[in-house]
């Protein structure tokens, strides 16, 4: 098979790394890719926003399957365009990608189909949103309804903080059109977990759970980021809880989307809060998480190509996935200053030494090649993943990989996996 992966981050490197191991693969391309992806795929300089260019490339190069990594092209209809050109694509069509593209749509779906979630209200009028926050009090959660690269959610611990968030989103236009509407939710207490399934429009196959670390500093301090590390599986996600989530959240969502004329195909990523009264849905994402995807791919023993193709073809009922025992844990290396201002173009050395550590795989996110050198090209730059029999073992191996790197312009959290280790 000729396969094209779309994207340039750590998630796409992990997908390419897993796809490259398939005996069914003939040729692997990635658009636009990065310096690490170039080691396992041919990178082509087409941005993810250039949907006509990507469709034309797929046609010219006789691509059998396109795997879409990021959410933006999905929400903007890349799967619709590929379908129209007769090219099979893994991911939801635009009307189904609204589950992530519009938090307002998502919350209304939850209400209609009685899917457990936080109480909410949605607003397009700034003054009405302000009045609602003042009436409800804090803590309270303010969300830009549209896509905001994982940064459009503010958990406000005071009314003033919530009002500042509303001003930033609705008046200062921090997220552009994505802030035309806001969703304001009750604050839920509990433990967050990411849960992934494959959906072919009807059939659902659970993948695995993971836990992300959003805050930039140790001890979950500082501003939220795109994710500073993750591990899989999440111990909080027991077999009983998995059954509960499948029956009360995932399957009703899949059935509801079909009933709405928006059949869902692709990976469905449920962001959950495990409260004292059970699991509640914080949000859905319509793609693999980043950095969660890296931990899933390093645990998956089955051929990922078989699972991706079955999702597209509607044959997931024939798929059974095998997973490696133990834990996979990933530490994100970010540019100094992230998530604020940071410098690009700093050299990263000793990547081979880091990847040679036992059970360690280094995934590239924001990197580029410069002759024989690898340079930073983003905020989150590398993901150092490791597997182990326990979370503690995986953590120790991952940090051995981090310490083998030579990149003084980067930093990481030093406590990734603390919840899993504390539990054990």
In this structure, the number of other CB atoms found within 10 A of the CB of residue 115 comes to 21
Residue with tokens 């004292």, as numbered in its chain: 276
Per the CB < 8 A criterion, the answer to whether 289 and 11 are in contact is yes
Report the distance separating Cα 265 and Cα 255, nearest Å. Answer: 12
3-state secondary structure of 270: strand
Report the distance separating Cα 228 and Cα 75, nearest Å. Answer: 25
Domains of the chain: 2-91 (3.40.50.20), 125-180 (3.30.1490.20), 191-318 (3.30.470.20), 327-423 (3.90.600.10)
List, for residues 191-231, the tens digit of each pLDDT value. Answer: 999 999 999 999 999 999 999 999 999 999 998 888 999 99
C-alpha dist (Å) from residue 28 to 17, 18, 284, 301: 10, 11, 29, 20
| Extended strands (E) in 326-372 | 327-335, 347-348, 360-364, 367-370
- The pLDDT tens digits along the chain (424 residues) read 999 999 999 999 999 999 999 999 999 999 999 999 999 999 999 999 999 999 999 999 999 999 999 999 999 999 999 999 999 999 999 999 999 999 999 999 999 999 999 999 999 999 999 999 999 999 999 999 998 877 788 889 999 999 999 999 999 999 999 999 999 999 999 999 999 999 999 999 999 999 999 999 999 999 888 899 999 999 999 999 999 999 999 999 999 999 999 999 999 999 999 999 999 999 999 999 999 999 999 999 999 999 999 999 999 999 999 999 999 999 999 999 999 999 999 999 999 999 999 999 999 999 999 999 999 999 999 999 999 999 999 999 999 999 999 999 999 999 999 999 998 7
Report the distance separating Cα 143 and Cα 141, nearest Å. Answer: 7
């Amino acid at each position: 098979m000729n396969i094209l992966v779309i994207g340039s981050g750590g998630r796409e490197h992990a997908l390419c790394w897993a796809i490259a191991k398939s005996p069914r693969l003939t040729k692997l391309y990635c658009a636009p890719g990065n310096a690490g992806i170039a080691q396992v795929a041919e990178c082509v300089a087409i941005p993810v926003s250039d949907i006509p260019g990507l469709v034309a490339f797929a046609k010219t190069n006789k691509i059998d399957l396109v795997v879409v990594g990021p959410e933006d092209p999905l929400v903007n209809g890349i799967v619709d365009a590929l379908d129209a050109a007769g090219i099979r694509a893994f991911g939801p069509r635009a009307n189904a990608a609204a589950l992530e593209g519009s938090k307002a749509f998502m919350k209304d779906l939850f209400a209609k189909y009685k899917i457990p979630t936080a109480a909410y209200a949605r607003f397009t009028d700034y003054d009405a949103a302000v009045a609602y926050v003042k009436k409800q009090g804090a803590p309270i959660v303010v969300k830009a309804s549209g896509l905001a690269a994982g940064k459009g959610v503010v958990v406000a611990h005071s009314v003033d903080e919530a009002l500042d968030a509303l001003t930033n989103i609705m008046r200062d236009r921090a997220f552009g059109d994505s802030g035309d509407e806001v969703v304001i939710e009750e604050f839920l207490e509990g433990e967050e977990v990411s849960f992934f399934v494959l959906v072919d429009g009807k059939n659902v196959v659970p993948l695995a759970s993971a836990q992300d670390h959003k805050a930039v500093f140790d001890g979950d301090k500082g501003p939220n980021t795109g994710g500073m590390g993750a591990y899989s599986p999440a111990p909080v996600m027991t077999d009983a809880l998995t059954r509960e989530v499948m029956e009360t959240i995932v399957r009703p969502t899949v059935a509801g989307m079909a009933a709405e004329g928006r059949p869902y195909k692709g990976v469905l990523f449920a962001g959950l809060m495990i409260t004292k009264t059970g699991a509640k849905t914080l949000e859905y994402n319509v793609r693999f998480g980043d950095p969660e995807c890296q931990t899933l791919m390093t645990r998956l023993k089955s051929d990922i190509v078989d699972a991706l193709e079955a999702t597209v073809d509607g044959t997931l009922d024939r798929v059974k996935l095998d997973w490696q025992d133990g834990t996979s844990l990933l530490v994100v290396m970010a540019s100094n200053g992230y998530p604020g201002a940071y410098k690009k173009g700093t050299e990263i050395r000793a990547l081979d030494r880091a990847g040679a550590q036992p059970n360690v795989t280094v995934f590239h996110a924001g990197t580029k090649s410069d002759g024989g050198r690898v340079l930073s090209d983003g905020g989150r730059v590398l993901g150092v993943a490791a597997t182990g029999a326990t979370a503690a073992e995986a953590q120790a191996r991952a940090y051995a990989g981090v310490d083998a790197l030579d990149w003084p312009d980067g930093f990481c959290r030093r406590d990734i996996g603390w919840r899993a280790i504390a539990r054990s």
